Amino acid sequence: MKKLLSNLPKVDEFLISEKLEEYKDSVPYNILIKSIREGIAFYREEILNNRLADTEMEKEDLKMEITNKIIKLIESKNQLNLRRVINATGTIIHTNLGRSKLMESSVENIVNIASNYNNLEYDIPSGKRGSRYSHIEKLICDITGAESALVVNNNAAAVLLVLDTLTKEREVIVSRGELVEIGGSFRIPAIMEYSGSKLIEVGTTNRTHKKDYLEAITPETKALLKVHTSNYKIMGFTKEVKNEELSKMARDKKLISIEDLGSGVLVDFAKYGYKKEPTVQESLKSGIDVVTFSGDKLLGGPQAGIIVGKRQYIEKMKKNNLLRTLRVSKLTIAALEVTLREYLDESQAVKNIPTLRMILEGKDEVEKRAHILYEKLKTLETLEVDLVETSAMIGGGSMPTELMDSFGVAISYIGSSIVKLERVLRNNSLSIVGRIQGGKLVLDCKTLNENDMDSIYEILSKGIDTI
Ligand SMILES: *Cc1c(COP(=O)(O)O)cnc(C)c1O
């Protein structure tokens, strides 16, 4: 052990090593030196704990081994923390994997706006200061039929701004069947508390009647809030008060009606053979005063929270100081405007917005893609490959009971466990996230494009021990 320890090369010896030469210019010095130190420290521990197989290792061999470790460390430290992954889960709006993918023209617009000066808060005709919110308000109104609109950082922020502006220190009535928690700890009762509004729960988990709301209304009541139970379904013996009734009740009692729609659907999914999902347009038409929804769920755009509704309420929100802390960036506006413009022609929206396209495409299209991946992977001798039928999901807490017929490729790696295969692919520098099912790793093609498939093939053809 002593000999091995004294054979450990010093930092300087690695700094002049030929094998590390290429990294000296291409990697920040900080990362290089840290990786060298960690590499040496790792091997010192290995030696001290008798974990080195070859106890008689020559100095040059030891140096070579440590160099390989250092290269691995450099590569892992030098890659970005937030990076692209391949989503082979079949879940389209995967909250852990970044929700909706943007359409290409949205991305191009982000690049153009971000790499140049722009009129974010500049009114070009007058040459005076303008408002960042002005660029998309009219567009949202045209699409949804709203009087007014406002965009903030995300839907949770939208709900907070609505309550903080309109119902502070007053009571807001919500059905017990709608006290939702969305992943990442968005809870209606908690948001209500931050806003200084008082939550009044009515009805029961499965049934809430009009009279439950009516009985709860007091002089302190300011609003009736409906929350779309987007990520779960209460089935069986159920009753809820419909939007039309709720908004009428609010008008009769001089209260504000608010709906947190969550997903923000702008096209009628029922037209395409899906279960009815209430659209933003319908919610407004039913007489609801203020509606909020996300930009990156079923709308298929960037992360944003969109508030639409009566002008008098939206104007108040625009004057709320809280808005400054929830405001959207120019990058969001750049992407959202391009995405929203697609909705001016629905036939374009369903074709060009990736989230909508993946949801609405026919079964045969995903089958075609699955065949392409199947044929590619079949040529690899190290793999056992099957074409399988799967069920893909919309995800993002949207339409949880709607499964889509999909196809995938189930793989196993000869001589390796599925657990290892899954782990290795996930930890590859371009991570592949699939799901283990029936003792195989299933790569669902619902969420894969041909570019992803080329990458999957390339990665797997290297063999999992070298990845
Ligand atoms: C998703 C969702 C939210 C949170 O929206 P974010 O855009 O993630 O902040 C709030 N309410 C409902 C009903 C939702 O579905």
Taking the CA of residue 396 as reference, the ligand 1 atom at the shortest distance is 1
Q: Long-range contacts for 38-46 (Cβ within 8 Å, ≥24 apart)? A: 38/70, 38/73, 39/14, 39/66, 39/67, 39/69, 39/70, 39/73, 40/8, 40/9, 40/10, 40/11, 40/14, 40/66, 42/66, 42/69, 43/8, 43/69, 44/5, 44/8
Give yes or no for residue 2 having a pLDDT over 60. Answer: yes
Question: For a pocket test of ligand 1, which of 260, 292, 307, 336 has the largest count of ligand atoms closer than 8 A to its C-beta?
Answer: 260
CA 236 to chain centre: 31
Residue 159 CA to ligand 1 center (angstroms) comes to 9
- Closest residue by Cα to residue 205 from 182, 231, 183, 174: 174
Neighbours of 154 (CB within 10 A): 21
CA 417 to chain centre: 30
Element (H, E) at 354: helix 354-360
Say if residues 134 and 126 touch (Cβ distance below 8 Å).
no
pLDDT digits (tens, 9 = 90+) for 97-108: 999 999 999 999
Residue 428 main-chain phi, psi, to 5 deg: -60, 155
Residue 298 CA to ligand 1 center (angstroms) comes to 11
Taking the CA of residue 303 as reference, the ligand 1 atom at the shortest distance is 7
Phi-psi region of 286 (alpha: psi -120 to 50; beta: other; left: phi over 0): alpha
Mean pLDDT estimate for the chain: 94
Taking the CA of residue 294 as reference, the ligand 1 atom at the shortest distance is 7
Give yes or no for residue 274 having a pLDDT over 90. Answer: no
Residue 342 main-chain phi, psi, to 5 deg: -60, -35
CA angle 406, 442, 381 (to 5 degrees): 120
- Ligand 1: residue whose CA is nearest its atom 8: 155
189 confidence band (pLDDT: 50, 70, 90): confident
Give yes or no for residue 231 having a pLDDT over 70. Answer: no
Strands, sheet with 305-309, edge to edge from the N-terminal-most edge strand:
148-152, 305-309, 290-294, 256-262, 221-227, 171-175, 198-202
In the Cβ-directed half-sphere of 457, how many Cα atoms lie within 13 Å? 17
Residue 156 CA to ligand 1 center (angstroms) comes to 6
Residue 359 CA to ligand 1 center (angstroms) comes to 19
Q: Give the integer Cα–Cα distance in Å for 98 and 365.
A: 24
pLDDT digits (tens, 9 = 90+) for 416-456: 999 999 999 999 999 999 999 989 999 999 999 999 999 99
Residue 110 CA to ligand 1 center (angstroms) comes to 24
Enumerate residues lining ligand 1, CB below 6 A. Answer: 154-156, 180, 182, 186, 227-228, 230, 260, 262-263, 294, 305, 397
277 confidence band (pLDDT: 50, 70, 90): confident
From first CA to last CA, the distance across the chain in angstroms is: 31
Query: What is the radius of gyration, based on Cα positions, of the chain?
Result: 28
Say if residues 255 and 222 touch (Cβ distance below 8 Å).
yes
In the prediction, which pLDDT does 398 show? 72
Residue 398 main-chain phi, psi, to 5 deg: -110, 130
Say if residues 318 and 133 touch (Cβ distance below 8 Å).
yes
Residue 193 CA to ligand 1 center (angstroms) comes to 17
Give yes or no for residue 110 having a pLDDT over 80. Answer: yes
Give yes or no for residue 264 having a pLDDT over 90. Answer: no
pLDDT digits (tens, 9 = 90+) for 369-388: 999 999 999 999 999 999 99
Q: Give the integer Cα–Cα distance in Å for 98 and 296.
A: 9
Residue 111 structure tokens: 């690049």
Question: For a pocket test of ligand 1, which of 93, 95, 155 has the largest count of ligand atoms closer than 8 A to its C-beta?
Answer: 155
- Ligand 1: residue whose CA is nearest its atom 13: 262
CA 112 to chain centre: 23
pLDDT digits (tens, 9 = 90+) for 348-377: 999 999 999 999 999 999 999 999 999 999
- Judged by DSSP in three states, 403 sits in strand
Residue 352 structure tokens: 């060009």
Q: Give the integer Cα–Cα distance in Å for 396 and 29.
A: 41
Contacts of residue 347, Cβ cutoff 8 Å, sequence gap at least 6: none
Residue 95 CA to ligand 1 center (angstroms) comes to 11
Residue 198 structure tokens: 């008082």
pLDDT digits (tens, 9 = 90+) for 297-329: 999 999 999 999 999 999 999 999 999 999 999
Say if residues 39 and 70 touch (Cβ distance below 8 Å).
yes
In the prediction, which pLDDT does 185 show? 67
Contacts of residue 293, Cβ cutoff 8 Å, sequence gap at least 6: 155, 158, 260, 261, 262, 263, 264, 280, 299, 305, 306
Structural domains of the chain, ranges and CATH numbers in brackets = 2-77 (no CATH), 85-96+361-461 (3.90.1150.180), 104-352 (3.40.640.10)
In the prediction, which pLDDT does 198 show? 95
- Ligand 1: residue whose CA is nearest its atom 11: 262
In the prediction, which pLDDT does 230 show? 67
Give yes or no for residue 232 having a pLDDT over 70. Answer: no
- Ligand 1: residue whose CA is nearest its atom 14: 262
- Judged by DSSP in three states, 362 sits in coil
Residue 263 CA to ligand 1 center (angstroms) comes to 7
Residue 181 CA to ligand 1 center (angstroms) comes to 9
Residue 230 CA to ligand 1 center (angstroms) comes to 9
Residue 341 CA to ligand 1 center (angstroms) comes to 23
Give yes or no for residue 467 having a pLDDT over 60. Answer: no
- Ligand 1: residue whose CA is nearest its atom 7: 155
Q: Give the integer Cα–Cα distance in Å for 13 and 7.
A: 12
DSSP 245-297: HHHHHHHHTT-EEEEEEES-B-S-GGGGTSPP--BHHHHHHTT-SEEEEESSS
- Ligand 1: residue whose CA is nearest its atom 12: 262
Q: What share of the chain is helix, strand, coil (3-state, %, to 5)?
A: 45, 20, 35
Write the single-letter amino acid at 244: E
Give yes or no for residue 272 having a pLDDT over 70. Answer: yes
182 confidence band (pLDDT: 50, 70, 90): low
